[in-house]
Chains A and B, each alone.
Chain A
């Protein structure tokens, strides 16, 4: 199971689950750093991952049994570049474009604009290979979308309460 992790805005790896675990124990990878392996829908903070070693998903072409089928212990440190020609794998990153446009138009609130700006950046960053940047832009787009949605909903609710009070006072 090969893991990638994001460190200082750069994607690092791949490393084995055991290695990543020891890096987290040693503090080299913080529990808040984002990690990802093939099969995960999104990057997640390391603290949220309980199981670094199960192979619950389809293996990428990288894991090839050594000749003779025997496991050669490598001290848990994989060789970088041991998978020549393997495609650079990354999880699909949600761009939140549609939700960002919807909250901007329907909540009538300027907080939707930063949501659209960050959402619009996601795919360009992915195509340039800046996965950590794309994850960050995706996260910000999500946050601003919810801020805009919350403000729109909250203000409509407050307005409804005032209208009800106004109608009550008018009677």
Chain B
């Protein structure tokens, strides 16, 4: 449990440092190093996460509208992801004594989440209106 707590705290510190870096450096300005999306490098297409770094840069600079244009799905999922990461990390650190809520997906909704992500992935690569609204702008 101590090791897990240390690992989660270390990853948390790394995450905050990463957010600070993204907040200070504009991915579109050049100059700073940002890893490129390998899917885009290889295929020339947008992946479901493309625009995520730019969206994070916009969010950390309190520009939700800009962030939404870069990656709408990420901006919508972000609150759920943050809550999910906190809950699941707590469950993982505490182990079987954990009594709090866990992230659960009811059976009827099992295909919704992969469906939404795959559909978003495909649709944002279709040229022309309205699909181009889903691509990073």
Q: Enumerate chain A interface residues (CB-CB to B < 8 A).
A: 39, 41, 92, 95, 97-99, 101-102, 104-110, 113, 116-117, 119-125, 127-128, 152, 155-156, 159-160
Contacts and interface: CB of A to CB of B under 8 A. Distances in A.
Interface in B102-133: 102-114, 117-118
B40 interface: yes
B35 interface: yes
Contacts of A92: 96, 102
B102 A108 contact: no
14 contacts: A41-B95, A97-B105, A98-B84, A98-B88, A99-B88, A105-B74, A105-B77, A106-B52, A108-B38, A120-B105, A122-B105, A124-B110, A128-B107, A159-B38
A127 B106 contact: yes
A164 to B, nearest CB: 11
Contacts of B95: 41
Interface size class of B (residues with CB under 8 A): 35 or more
B81 A102 contact: yes
B110 A104 contact: no
A128 to B, nearest CB: 7
B36 interface: yes
Contacts of B50: 108
B129 to A, nearest CB: 25
A143 to B, nearest CB: 16
A122 B52 CA distance: 28
Nearest to B74: A105
Contacts of B58: none
Interface in B58-84: 74, 77, 81, 84
B135 interface: no
Contact of B107 (A39, A110, A125): A125
A160 B41 CA distance: 14
A123 B107 CA distance: 6
Nearest to B111: A120
Nearest to B71: A105
B35 A116 contact: no
Given A97-B84, A108-B38, A113 B114 contact: yes
